[in-house]
Amino acid sequence: MSKKTILLMAIVTGVIVANLNFIQPIENLIANDFGVSKSVVGMLAMVTQLGYALGLLLIVPLGDIFNRYNLIQFMMILSIISLLLAFLAPNAAVFAIATALIGITSVAPQIIIPYAGYLAPALERGKVLGIVLSGLLTGILLSRSFSGLLGSVMPWQDIYLLAAGIDLVFLVIVHLFLPKDARGHQDLKYLPVIKTLPKLFTSQKALRSSAINGFCMFGMSNVLWSTLAFYLADQYHLGSSVAGLLGLLGIAGVLVAPWVGTLVDERSPKLTIGLSMILSGLGFLVFWLIGFWMIGLIVGIVLLDLGTQFSQVSNQAIVQSLNRKQSSRNNSIFMFSYFLGGSFGTLFATWAWSHAGWSGVCLVALVFLIIAIIDHFVLGEPEKLNREA
């Protein structure tokens, strides 16, 4: 793989995954515009995550069947159509449908990631995935800043129109420069492939452990980001632009991603998973103790984003080292669990905010962390990656 190819994959994953997170910093604006409660808008954010989880489960396995070069572009076209529907939505009901479709259709990054793992040399797989995943995290971070800042100067609907235009530009770039899939079309049928997912989950201990860890760690991340806009408005009387700017603090996670990938290659994914739980746990401890000061929010966000990135890179390296022929299906299972955790984090955190405020939000994160720790000591992660896959 050339450096240009790796960079292209990293940028495209970031551009597409951004679609999922535009809603988070502008939840207050959407609630006011449609005349609905904050809890309803929180549910819409959860619908996006659930839609993405559904797409991961039912669409991403197609990467083991169809030409991935064509499949990625087809999903990008559907994603652009969904963004335009969100832009045109006249009421909350239509917007809810649009957000669900945005989630379902924005799965191209999870087709690109196993494709990158497939193309990468075995000894550099962790490093390559770390770079591609740094693009993914950059997209998540910049999407919040992009949405939050633009939401303060223009109608929030225009954010979705602008995103559709950006995705269209990158669709052309992908068509021209993404490597063709040398495998072509595989002699596999869709339903039999989908039916293998439960067996793959139960037969691979490392996949089960990564799926549970991803569920918990991304759940913790969404516990923060789904309630931060509410907390800033309540505690500091600040708007969406500040929520977007705070998202930029996660650049620390972007910068360390390639290093984490190298650490996984040279040391142990078990070590880096352990570090991810420590960092995320410390982040929420800081939120709980001094989150009412801005410095506490800043330090906590940096720690949490570092923990999320350590987890994501480590787990992807584990999953993509299991079996190249079923890499899309393994990734589908892992990412389905990952975003299912994110949707539950959004749901429970929004509920906790309504009933117990910031302390309730931090308590929800603690529950996710306890489950991750149990998984770490009961199932555990491999000491070394499988180089033969």
User: What pLDDT, in 10s, does the model give residues 292-331?
Assistant: 899 999 999 999 989 998 998 899 889 988 887 888 899 8
User: How many whole angstroms separate alpha carbon 329 and alpha carbon 201?
Assistant: 10
pLDDT of the residue at 299: 94
The answer to whether 97 and 65 are in contact (CB under 8 A) is: no
Q: Is 99 within a domain?
A: yes
Q: Is 188 part of a structural domain of the chain?
A: no
Q: Has residue 385 been placed in a domain?
A: no
Q: How many domains does the chain have?
A: 1
Q: Distance (Å, rounded) from C-alpha 53 to C-alpha 115?
A: 19
pLDDT at residue 389 is higher than 60: no
* Rounded CA separation 143/259 (Å): 23
Find the CATH number of the domain harbouring 155.
1.20.1250.20
Segment 224-276, tens digit of pLDDT: 988 888 899 888 888 767 876 787 787 777 778 778 888 888 888 999 999 99
| Residue 187 is assigned to a structural domain of this protein | no
Q: What is the residue range of 363's domain?
A: 3-177+197-378
The predicted pLDDT at position 17 comes to 93
309: its two tokens: 């990135």
- DSSP state letter for 179: P
C-beta separation of 342 from 132 below 8 A: no
Asked if the structure places residue 94 within a domain, the reply is: yes
Considering the domain boundaries, does residue 386 fall inside one?
no
Residue 192 lies in a domain: no
Q: What is the pLDDT averaged over residues 39-60?
A: 86
Q: Does residue 191 sit within a domain? A: no
